[in-house]
Amino acid sequence: MPNARKKSAYTKKDLREVSDNPELTKADFAKARPFSEVFPDLGASIRKGRGPNKSPTKKLVSLRLSPDVIAHFKSTGPGWQSRIDETLRKVVKRKASA
């Protein structure tokens, strides 16, 4: 059928006719309340953030390292930051026992 035209997508009018949800107005948004206010028990039970670290707790620091050091540890795969920590711990332990 060469003369058959492809039907275009649904129009906004089509979507409004089949929608069960009315469009929200500024008044609706003005009446809106935060989730934790509407459901305080449920809001309190939802875990926020990462949670506590395993012990012993590590400290977050910003550290500048040479590009070759970073490249070396990254080339060993995932967990490279932990391997840097392990290497530094070994050096500290060696110096403490010397």
Q: CA distances (Å), 19 to each of 2, 11, 13, 25, 42, in order? A: 34, 12, 10, 16, 29
Q: What would the two tokens of residue 96 be?
A: 């403490």
Q: Give the residue-averaged pLDDT of 54-71.
A: 87
88: Cα within 13 Å, side-chain hemisphere = 10
Residue 5 banded pLDDT, cuts 50, 70, 90: low
Q: Mind listing the pLDDT tens digit for each residue in 10-61?
A: 888 888 788 888 788 999 999 999 998 999 888 888 867 677 777 777 788 8
69 pLDDT more than 60: yes
Say which DSSP state 55 is in.
S
Do you find a cis peptide bond into 67, omega within 30 degrees of 0? Answer: no
pTM above 0.85, yes or no: no
The CA distance from 37 to 32, in Å, is: 10
2 pLDDT more than 60: no
